[in-house]
Chain A
Amino acid sequence: MEFTRRDTLAIGMGAVAITVLPFRVNAAAEEAISAFTGGADIAETGVTLIAPEIAENGNTVPIGVEAEGAVAIMVLAMGNPTPGVATFTFGELAGAHSASTRIRLAGTQDLVAIAQMADGSFAKASSNVKVTIGGCGG
């Protein structure tokens, strides 16, 4: 078959801008946690955070959080330039203490969900979400 070698430019594998290393934790994330908890201890159990291990599309990553008995759940994308994603608050009559949304991730990083319980204690869950070029597996 005939083709002109030079004519055929291409979007090759990974024409996407991406960096190798996971995004660093933004200092603003630590500040947001302090502001939310007032520096209180945070338990490691009691919160469920559902997020994909590898994002299909970093621009719209579906996540879900759940914490039985929570009055508020804060979600942070630790490596985003603006780490705050959302804080869900639950009233006394809330039937379920769960919420789901979609978030944008600038790159591979940890997601953290911190729940404030009715008794004033805090609990958290975290999950690493990878944003990758992909395309070479299978």
Chain B
Amino acid sequence: MISRRDFLQAGMAASALVGASGFGNWSRLAAQQALTQDQLLQFDTFGNVSLIHITDIHAQLKPIYFREPEINLGVGDNKGHVPHITGADFRKLHGIEDGSPSAYALTYNDFTALAKTYGRMGGMDRVATVVNAIRAERPDALLLDGGDTWHGSYTCYHTQGQDVVNVMNALKPDAMTFHWEFTLGTERIRELVQGLPFAALGANIFDAEWDEPSEDFKPYEMFERGGVKIAVIGQAFPYMPIANPGWMFPEYSFGIRDQRMQEIVDEVRAAGAELVVCLSHNGFDVDKQMASRVTGIDVILTGHTHDALPEPVLVGETILIASGSNGKFVSRVDLDVRDGRMMGFRHKLIPIFSDVIAPDTAVAAVIDEQRAPYMDQLTEVIGQADTLLYRRGNFNGTWDDLICDALISEREADIAMSPGVRWGPSILPGQDITREDIHNVTSMTYGKAYRTEMTGEFLNVILEDVGDNLFNTDPYYQQGGDMVRVGGLGYRIDISKPMGQRISEMTLLKTGEAIDPAQTYVVAGWASVNEGTEGPQIWDVVEDYIRKQGTVTVAPNTSVQVVGA
């Protein structure tokens, strides 16, 4: 068999993005002059099957800025391995020049300057152009949506996901799997799924009462493309009722369920599948481990952890493709399937530079139609940013610090807590902050801002618990989010230690005193998974705070000390 590695097209790292020379002096070279749509889409069609993967768009229909993580620490066997490589190390690994379009799209450094040079990324109308271009070359290419699609914006919240459903339907996907979609609640997700003109997949979605595969979602769908029988198996986010409020969808149970995945792979192989694709929302490290335990999967299209990788990762005979988040990227994977097996592949992570790729007019019209009834609400300017506002990273980002400041100030709390989610676009210094921008980083169906009392001991329990969800050395015990963000509280974390020993030096910042395990503190937070949480919506709390501030400045956060990395 020919080495698969030989077929790897360097994609972004080399030929795709030319015009990077002349950078480094922050010359005002507009993205349009440096790049062309043809260059971004250039791909020598290969083999007989094409897969198009998009995932974790979080309802971002319009182009956005999104800063990739500075801190993304791996533990155990994954320490120092992709995707736990960021910044200069990432650029070195993939041969990306500093200041180049790829550096802007994939790493965090000089983000503000590069964002001003290269502009916003994403937009489902631009994604549609890319999808159409691939279909022009390969009419029967499969478009697969990895989920976290119907969540994350003002219009998505107010239409209960209908706006994104309408736009995605216009792109004509072939299959989809799920995560945040379930936070719309059982009734709504059933309604939306039943109306989908494509397959809703999740081999690990079970009926909670009977512990049997759910009848609402198919485990897989068989396709015949390019003369090849292809099985696409869905794998929904395994920890839905734990990371998100299970009371909103009590009828369903999830889990990784290796044995179930192996059974399904065996079943589709027995039914004649020559190519087995897993459309997964496991998260990268979980998928890597699953690929090492389940045999017979050719391609895992991985999602959830928002990693954008310019090259596939090989685990045994399985290739893992990670396509980023928020609409910034689309992956194209061409495969040569012959004699019932995958013989080679060619891959490209296509960056959606919104100023370079022309919007598809039909999809642009659908997007505008969804937004039209809400334009006054969306566009109202609440304040201005003086600091780059971003979230992505293992620990607090500036958006999180701003939200925590708002909670402490508006809710008169000692300490604030904000969930370590990985979605939420960035805002550049000098940019207006609109209501839409606030909802983009806070929107959810359980966004009420609670105010409660917690003992120092319990605060420690929370930090240890969430820390273990992120830094447990076995990926199957990780939930794929980042560390809970805190305001008013400093701590030290040793990520190399086991649960119960990671957190130390907890300090109440307003007094500088050590947190007393027996003392009670007033804590404000949001996104509680508990039913019956009371309080104002977090976006209203943040809006009130920003309005009072006018111009928002967030000081660098030095209150979390990370060791053991």
Q: Is the CB of A138 within 8 A of B246?
A: no
Tell me which residues from 38 to 92 in chain A have a Cβ below 8 Å from any Cβ of chain B.
50, 52-54, 56-57, 62
- Name the one of B243, B253, B461 contacting A18, with C-beta atoms under 8 angstroms: B461
With A9-B452, A54-B239, A56-B254 already in contact, the answer to whether A138 and B480 are too (CB < 8 A) is yes
Q: How far is the CA of A11 from the CA of B449 in the complex (A)?
A: 10
- B462 within 8 Å of A (CB atoms): yes
With A10-B448, A133-B462 already in contact, the answer to whether A138 and B410 are too (CB < 8 A) is no
- B373 within 8 Å of A (CB atoms): no
Q: Is the CB of B256 within 8 A of A136?
A: no
- B139 within 8 Å of A (CB atoms): no
Tell me which residues from 499 to 540 in chain B have a Cβ below 8 Å from any Cβ of chain A.
499-500, 523, 525, 527-536, 540
Q: Is the CB of A56 within 8 A of B528?
A: no
Task: Report A-chain residues with C-beta under 8 Å of the C-beta of B298.
Answer: none
Q: Is the CB of B525 within 8 A of A134?
A: no
Tell me which residues from 421 to 473 in chain B have a Cβ below 8 Å from any Cβ of chain A.
421-423, 448-452, 454, 458, 460-462, 464-466, 468-470
Q: Is the CB of B534 within 8 A of A13?
A: no
- B241 within 8 Å of A (CB atoms): yes
- Name the one of A1, A9, A10, A19 contacting B461, with C-beta atoms under 8 angstroms: A19
Q: Is the CB of A11 within 8 A of B461?
A: no
Q: Is the CB of A12 within 8 A of B525?
A: yes
Q: Number of B residues whose C-beta is below 8 Å from A? A: 67
Q: How far is the CA of A90 from the CA of B255 in the complex (A)?
A: 29
Task: Report A-chain residues with C-beta under 8 Å of the C-beta of B534.
Answer: 8-11
- Name the one of B180, B246, B449, B481 contacting A136, with C-beta atoms under 8 angstroms: B481
Task: Report B-chain residues with C-beta under 8 Å of the C-beta of A10.
Answer: 448-452, 528, 533-535
Q: Which 5 A-B pairs have the closest CB atoms?
A: A137-B481, A10-B450, A137-B479, A135-B529, A134-B242
Q: Is the CB of A136 within 8 A of B484?
A: yes
Q: Which residue of B lies closest to A48 (CB)?
A: B259
Binds A, one of B358-366, B380-388, B411-419: B411-419
Q: A20-B461, A134-B479, A137-B243 are in contact. List 8 more A-B contacts (CB 8 A).
A: A8-B451, A8-B536, A10-B449, A14-B458, A53-B477, A136-B243, A136-B527, A138-B244
Q: Which residue of B lies closest to A56 (CB)?
A: B241
Q: Which residue of B lies closest to A135 (CB)?
A: B529
Q: How far is the CA of A62 from the CA of B208 in the complex (A)?
A: 10
Task: Report B-chain residues with C-beta under 8 Å of the C-beta of A136.
Answer: 243, 419-420, 466, 469, 481, 483-484, 527
Q: Is the CB of B417 within 8 A of A13?
A: yes
Q: Which of A20, A22, A50, A135 has the largest number of chain B CB atoms within 10 A?
A: A135
Task: Report B-chain residues with C-beta under 8 Å of the C-beta of A52.
Answer: 255-256
Q: Is the CB of B451 within 8 A of A9?
A: yes
- Name the one of A11, A50, A62 contacting B528, with C-beta atoms under 8 angstroms: A11
Q: Is the CB of A13 within 8 A of B477?
A: no
- Name the one of B254, B466, B527, B532 contacting A11, with C-beta atoms under 8 angstroms: B532
Q: Is the CB of A1 within 8 A of B242?
A: no
Q: Which residue of A lies closest to B254 (CB)?
A: A56
Q: How far is the CA of A21 from the CA of B502 in the complex (A)?
A: 12
- B317 within 8 Å of A (CB atoms): no
Q: Which residue of A lies closest to B482 (CB)?
A: A137
- Name the one of B241, B256, B499 contacting A20, with C-beta atoms under 8 angstroms: B499
Q: Which residue of A lies closest to B148 (CB)?
A: A138
Tell me which residues from 102 to 124 in chain A have a Cβ below 8 Å from any Cβ of chain B.
102
- Name the one of B449, B451, B499 contacting A22, with C-beta atoms under 8 angstroms: B499
Q: Is the CB of A138 within 8 A of B179?
A: yes
B302: shortest Cβ distance to chain A, in Å?
A: 16
B517: shortest Cβ distance to chain A, in Å?
A: 12
- Name the one of B241, B422, B528 contacting A57, with C-beta atoms under 8 angstroms: B241
Q: Which residue of B lies closest to A132 (CB)?
A: B465
Q: Is the CB of A11 within 8 A of B533?
A: yes
- B89 within 8 Å of A (CB atoms): no
Q: Which residue of A lies closest to B448 (CB)?
A: A10
Q: Which of B255, B423, B534 has the largest number of chain A CB atoms within 10 A?
A: B255
- B38 within 8 Å of A (CB atoms): no
Q: How far is the CA of A9 from the CA of B531 in the complex (A)?
A: 13
- B154 within 8 Å of A (CB atoms): no
- Name the one of A13, A14, A21, A54 contacting B500, with C-beta atoms under 8 angstroms: A21
- Name the one of A50, A54, A132 contacting B259, with C-beta atoms under 8 angstroms: A50
Q: How far is the CA of A1 from the CA of B546 in the complex (A)?
A: 13
8 A-B residue pairs with CB within 8 Å: A9-B452, A10-B533, A11-B530, A11-B532, A12-B523, A15-B530, A137-B239, A137-B421
Q: How far is the CA of A14 from the CA of B266 in the complex (A)?
A: 40
Q: How far is the CA of A89 from the CA of B419 in the complex (A)?
A: 47
Task: Report B-chain residues with C-beta under 8 Å of the C-beta of A18.
Answer: 461, 465
Q: How far is the CA of A52 from the CA of B257 in the complex (A)?
A: 7
Task: Report A-chain residues with C-beta under 8 Å of the C-beta of B410.
Answer: 5
Q: Is the CB of A56 within 8 A of B242?
A: yes
B485: shortest Cβ distance to chain A, in Å?
A: 9
Q: How far is the CA of A130 from the CA of B498 in the complex (A)?
A: 14
Q: Which of B483, B484, B532 has the largest number of chain A CB atoms within 10 A?
A: B484
Task: Report A-chain residues with C-beta under 8 Å of the C-beta of B241.
Answer: 56-57
- B137 within 8 Å of A (CB atoms): no
Q: Is the CB of B417 within 8 A of A134?
A: no
Q: Is the CB of B253 within 8 A of A133?
A: no
- B368 within 8 Å of A (CB atoms): no
Q: Is the CB of B525 within 8 A of A57?
A: no
Task: Report B-chain residues with C-beta under 8 Å of the C-beta of A128.
Answer: 477
Task: Report A-chain residues with C-beta under 8 Å of the C-beta of B267.
Answer: none
Task: Report B-chain residues with C-beta under 8 Å of the C-beta of A54.
Answer: 239, 242, 477, 479
- B369 within 8 Å of A (CB atoms): no
- B544 within 8 Å of A (CB atoms): yes
